[in-house]
Amino acid sequence: MKKMLIITGPQGAGNHMWAKIFSLHPEVFGWNTLLDNYWESHRFSEPFANEWKNVDLLDDFDWSKSDYYTTSISVPLGIPDDDLNPLYVPRLTNFSNKLKELGIEVQWAIVGRDQSILNHQQTRIRGESTVPLFMEQINDLENPIFLSYEMVYLYKEHYVKSLDTIVPVKWDDERLSEIVAHDANAKYVHSIEHNELDKGNRFATVFKENPNK
């Protein structure tokens, strides 16, 4: 049986990064052109971009390319009020149901990132958080695995190796270190000089309530 890993989650949570990681294995048909570029537009370059907008096109897809596939889709896509790239909310299970009709096994992989950083990123680009648009569909995704933005940057190949996926993963590919070389969270994170809990660490102080409320 042919298998497809569907990478999805809120816009800005790491879809492009994970699409690269799961496209590293030579047996996986994925977003290979993205491996040569830092970023590409989903609507022009993702191998299943047209099929996401019209799932009936999956009937005519050449499934002889591989036994393993991966595709990436964020919820939403596009930027509001941009006529060239309008906001688009894909219906995730429409895609997976069509795959199942074709006899293809599906696994969901939900990407995640620090919620405060996501809020800053989405508000900057779209004027507000768009996480709720994804959360409206999360209950429809059967038995997903969850992919952590922070864990892959911290533990790198050790974390990728631990993932239980239906497609083979090239966790020891030297390109993985290049993909996670520059943590995009860094620009959002700033050090502080003092936190009230520091005293607890130094002197075993007990705090009955959060001192940083």
123-138 confidence digits (pLDDT tens): 988 888 999 999 999 9
Q: Which fold would CATH assign to domain 3-183?
A: Rossmann fold (3.40.50)
**Is residue 67 scored above 80 in pLDDT?**
yes
Question: Which residues 6+ apart lie within 8 Å of 157 measured at CB?
Answer: 171, 172, 176, 177
Higher-pLDDT residue of 190 and 55 is 55
Nearest to 14 by CA among 74, 61, 56: 74
pLDDT at 193: 72
CA distance 100 to 127: 37
* Mean pLDDT, rounded, for 19-33: 97
Give the rounded distance of the alpha carbon of 26 from its chain centre.
20
196 band by pLDDT with thresholds 50, 70 and 90: low
* Mean pLDDT, rounded, for 74-96: 81
**Is residue 84 scored above 80 in pLDDT?**
no
**Is residue 186 scored above 80 in pLDDT?**
yes
Task: Please write the tens of the pLDDT for every residue from 166-177.
Answer: 999 999 999 999
Task: Please write the tens of the pLDDT for every residue from 89-130.
Answer: 999 999 999 999 999 999 999 999 999 999 999 998 888 899
CA distance 169 to 161: 7
44 band by pLDDT with thresholds 50, 70 and 90: confident
**Is residue 42 scored above 60 in pLDDT?**
yes
Place of tokens 């050090």: 191
The residues that bridge with 73 in the sheet, in sequence order, are 8
Nearest to 72 by CA among 121, 114, 131, 31: 31
pLDDT at 81: 56
pTM: 0.89
Of 3-17, 59-73, 116-130, least confident by mean pLDDT is 116-130
73 band by pLDDT with thresholds 50, 70 and 90: very high
**Is residue 208 scored above 60 in pLDDT?**
no
**Is residue 198 scored above 80 in pLDDT?**
no
